[in-house]
Structures are given as C-alpha cells and as structure tokens.
Structure 1
Amino acid sequence: MSGSTKKEPPLLRQIITNNVEISPGVHVISFRRDFEFLPGQVVKIGIDTDHPPRIYSICSGNQEDEVRILFNIKDDGFLTPKMAAMIPGDQLFVSEPYGSFLDHKEPAWWIATGTGIAPFYSMFRSGLNEGKKLIHGVRQLNQFYFEDELDWAMGNNYVRCCSGEQSCDVFPGRVSKYLTEINQLPDVNYFICGKALMVVEVRDLLIEKGVNYENIIAEIYF
C-alpha cells in the first residue's frame, strides 16, 4: 500500500473588498479576481491557515473584476460567523477554483434550493442562461436571492417556489411539488444544487418521470 497522499491545494491570501447582508443571516462577500475559473466551480475558504477551510461555490461571472461568495451564517459554525463580521481590508485564504459542476450552452434546467443558487447565478452572470430554466426553492420570500435581476432576464424561465409563504407569481410549495405537477419533462440536462436530502429527492423524482440518470448532474451543499 502506497504511503503517498494527495497534496491539498494551497490557500492564497485575498483581501475583502465588500461584505453585504442581502437577506437576514445571508451575506455576499467579495474580493478582487486574480484567477480564471469556469462557472459552477468552487473554492476552499478559510480565515486562517490553522483551521480547515470550507468549500463554497463561486457566485459571480467569470469575466467580472471581483469574485463573490454567497453564504448563510451557521450559528454553531466556526467560519461563517467570522466571515459575516469581516469588513473591507480584512483577509481570507482562498484556494484555486476546481470542480466539475459545469454547464455549457445546451438547453438545461437548473434546480436549486437556498444558497444552492450560487453556481447557477455564476453561470447566469457568465452568459450561459440562454435556453435554461431556473427553479429556485426557499422557505421564505426574502430568500429569493438576486430575484429582480433573474426575473427581468429570464422571465417565465425563472420559477420561484416558496414552501412557507405565498405571493403572486410564486409557486406555493417545494421544488419537488412543482416538478411532480409537470406531466412531461423535456429531454435536457438537469443540474441540481442544494442540501443532500433535496438533491436525492429531486434526482429520484426526475428518474421516476423518465429522465435518464446520465442527464442529471448534482452538487451537494453542506
């Protein structure tokens, strides 16, 4: 048995340029972009080199001057409460981008819950939204992050599902309920991003409705 281990990518120092609370307990933190990335990729982020970093999807277009990260505060977490308190000039430690949750210009459905919208917003900001349908599920109406921009650009191809509150133009229920009520799903790729239980539930539902397993690409948020 080989004693070699895979070396972790180094974490490079980045200086915070902005930190905005866009919804209660949900922040977008920014730093200057000094690397190339593909929409849908992730980075590891730490506040120092002593504690293990966490993985976050990039939430900005790949031609923008800044990299943005969307996150919600975990009250019992180590990293996110400290990130939420950061101000411009503070530093983060960030890895090079990596990951294979990648879409291209073919038609596809993007299915997200909560902050799982981050990679899809990166794809949207990178010009990959033509021929796409975005379905975003949340519990409260104030959790539809970036909704004005997405609604203006995507129109009927932007579907909001809310399980805890009701409003006009918002589907009353979870993403799985919305999908269940569709009789015939198109033959396209389906990208799913959210917590593990949601990803498994939606994947199984899509397969039940005739979607090929190979057409389902998933990213799990912890």
Structure 2
Amino acid sequence: MSKWKEAVVKRIEQRSPTVRSFWLSLPDRERLEFRPGQFLTLDLPISERRRERWRSYSIASAPDDTNEAELCIVQLPGGKGTHYLFEEAAVGTELLTKEPGGVFTLPERPLDYDVVMVCTGTGVAPFRSMLLQRLGHETRHFHLIYGCRTPEDLLYRDELERLAEEFSNFTYTATLSREMPANETPFEVLPGYVHQVYERDYAEVRSDVRFYLCGWSQMVDEARERLLKMGYAEEQVILELYG
C-alpha cells in the first residue's frame, strides 16, 4: 500500500498579507487522526525529483470528527512550494500527502508542568492546535509568547484574545518588532522581540515549566541558548524549526 494519500483542497482563507490557511481533506477516511503539534508532508508538482517536491506544514486545527486539517502557510519569496500553493492551487485541487508526522507534541497524560509557547510567524500553528484541544481540560498554565513584525501579522488574533479572556490558565503576550497597534488591546503587546518576555517572566528558574519553541531557526536557536544560559535544563526546552 502506498504511503502517499490523496488530499483535496476544500477551502482557502487569507489570514494576513503573506499568510493563507489551506484546509485539506483526506477522502480515504471519515476522520483524520493526529496529535496537536504534528505536520502534514505534501508532494507538490514543482520538480521531477521526488524529494525536491516535499514540503511539511504544521497542522493549525485541533483534532475533530472530520477528515480535514488546516495548514497555515506563509508565502516565501522565491519559494517554489508556496508559489504553487498561492498562485496555482485552488479549491478542488488534488494533492498527495503522508500520514501526520512529528514528535513536537504535548504528552497525552494530564500535564504536571506549565507550558510556555514561544513562536514567530506561522510557528503559532501547532500551538493553536494544542490550545484548542487542551484548554478547558488542564489545570496547569499555558503562556503563548508570539512575535511578529506588525499587528496585521498576528495570526488568529481575535481567537487568541477570546481564549485568554475565557480561560484563566492561559496568558497571551505579543511582541511586535516594527509597528505597534494604534489602539489599546486587552492583552499585553510589547515592542521588540519574544526573548524579552520569557527572560522577564521566567527569570527565576523553575523545574515545573517546559518551553516549546517554534518558528524560524534563528529565533529558536537564540531562545534555546538564552534559556540554557538562564539555568534551564535541556529537557525543559523542546524545539520545532522552520527553515
């Protein structure tokens, strides 16, 4: 049996000037099973060489009773994969995908530590999936620290604000490196970068916290180095790199 499965684009939505969500369905099943934090690998028609066609994208939706998954994808300058998805793919386009993969996930048991989610750009996608599944079922605290350039780059902004208001064990902090919002927001927004937030809020080293880092490799590498210098152990820092 082939490991590649048929997938169909069911819906496309513009999330920001450079980011779109693509909903894919797998018609060979009634329900798509995956763990929040996992990704789908697509085989795109962009090269004669197989491995040059493969692109992996984190699943942004939470598991439900459908056979669909939402992928949140940024258009990369010169990127063949995103050029195809943004310029050629449409509702009804058929693609090939593998089963969900990846180990950037929370334990399936109830958590015995707080979770600090540090991300930039579309790195918020796996964290959204985790939050939608776990909030309301966990007693430990979740803190999302989300870095972007401008307010319009903050993905899922309204939803994350609503979750922060609804759940007392969820904190949402945004950092903006180029432009601050014109009006006050109900959540904390700081000028600068994500590093200043976890260095401020977690300066006192704790054993009951885990840092999940997701986004561009430069941010993830720097955050890991800073957290280790602060005194956190290797096993307290979990990584997912984008490029």
**Would you call these one fold, judging by a TM-score over 0.5?**
yes
Quote the offset at 1:83 in angstroms. 0.7
Partner of 1:100: 103
Q: Residue 193 of structure 1 is aligned with which of 199, 214, 217?
A: 214
**Unpaired segments of 5 or more residues in structure 1?**
1-8
Quote the offset at 1:154 in angstroms. 2.1
Distance in 1 (alpha carbons) for counterparts of 2:192 and 2:159 = 22
Partner of 2:159: 149
Quote the offset at 1:64 in angstroms. 5.2
Letter in 1 for 2:115: A
Letter in 2 for 1:73: Q
Worse-superposed segment, 128-137 or 172-181? 128-137
Map 1:66-145 to 2 at 5 A: 66-85=68-87, 86-104=89-107, 105-106=110-111, 107-128=114-135, 130=138, 131-145=141-155
Q: Residue 233 of structure 2 is aligned with which of 206, 212, 218?
A: 212
Distance in 2 (alpha carbons) for counterparts of 1:147 and 1:210 = 32
SS of the residue corresponding to residue 134 of structure 2 reads: coil
**Pairs aligned (count):** 214
Distance in 1 (alpha carbons) for counterparts of 2:231 and 2:79 = 39
**Unpaired segments of 5 or more residues in structure 2?**
none
Write out per-residue CA displacement over residues 21-40 of structure 1, whole angstroms, 9 at most, x where no aligned residue.
11012110002254311110
Distance in 2 (alpha carbons) for counterparts of 1:128 and 1:53 = 33
Partner of 1:37: 34
Quote the offset at 1:198 in angstroms. 0.7
Map 1:5-44 to 2 at 5 A: 10-32=3-25, 34=29, 35-44=32-41
Contact 1:140/1:165 (CA < 8 Å) preserved in 2?
yes
Write out per-residue CA displacement over residues 79-99 of structure 1, whole angstroms, 9 at most, x where no aligned residue.
111111322111121111111
Quote the offset at 1:202 in angstroms. 0.5
Partner of 1:164: 178
Distance in 1 (alpha carbons) for counterparts of 2:65 and 2:10 = 14
